[in-house]
Amino acid sequence: MSVSGLPPYDPANIFARILRGEIPCKRVHEDEWALAFHDINPLTPTHVLVIPKGEWVSAADFHAGATAEAIAGFWRAVAAVAKALGLEAPGYRILSNMGGDGGQEVPHFHVHVFGGRPLGRMVRAGG
Ligand code: AMP
């Protein structure tokens, strides 16, 4: 069981396979701590996923178990990606789904970066 109560890390998950280079991605950024790539099913004009390189199921696991350096490196990568994509001035949204109610499909911690149009307020009731 992971820290968050989710199942243990599954090294066969699709983002683990992307990290190992077994399946391709449209990469926008990579450094020691993180890989960022375009979402295969973009919900906004810009929709990028940023994933840490370590094996973490969720935000809870990552922040409980990763080193301070890895956590800082990951969040710096998120900010760098948004800047590189030209999203700083117009603004953007970052979001991470966790577990069933959170709608998490891929069990490797990731942050969505949405932008490219006004995004409205938060989430809508019912979906
Ligand atoms: P989540 O619901 O937060 O787990 O989001 C998982 C995201 O991963 C979804 O937005 C999917 O469209 C995206 N996704 C799934 N497979 C791939 C892939 N091979 N390359 C890029 N994005 C993917």
pTM of the model: 0.95
Q: Which of 10, 13, 14 most suits a substitution to test ligand 1, by most atoms within 8 Å of the C-beta?
A: 14
25 lines ligand 1 (CB under 6 A): yes
Tokens of 39: 């979402």
Atom of ligand 1 at shortest distance to CA of 107?
Answer: 4
Rounded distance between C-alpha atoms, residue 4 and residue 125, angstroms: 25
Q: Are strands 27-30 and 34-38 parallel, antiparallel or unpaired?
A: antiparallel
pLDDT tens-digit profile, the chain (127 residues): 566 677 899 999 999 999 999 999 999 999 999 999 999 999 999 999 999 999 999 999 999 999 999 999 999 999 999 999 999 999 999 999 999 999 999 999 999 999 999 999 877 655 5
Give the start-to-end residue ranges of the domains of the chain.
14-109
Q: Nearest to residue 24, comparing CAs of 14, 10, 13, 9?
A: 14
| Atom of ligand 1 minimally distant from the CA of 103 | 2
With beta carbons less than 8 A apart as the criterion, state whether 114 and 93 touch. yes
CATH code, 14-109: 3.30.428.10
CA distance 114 to 97: 13
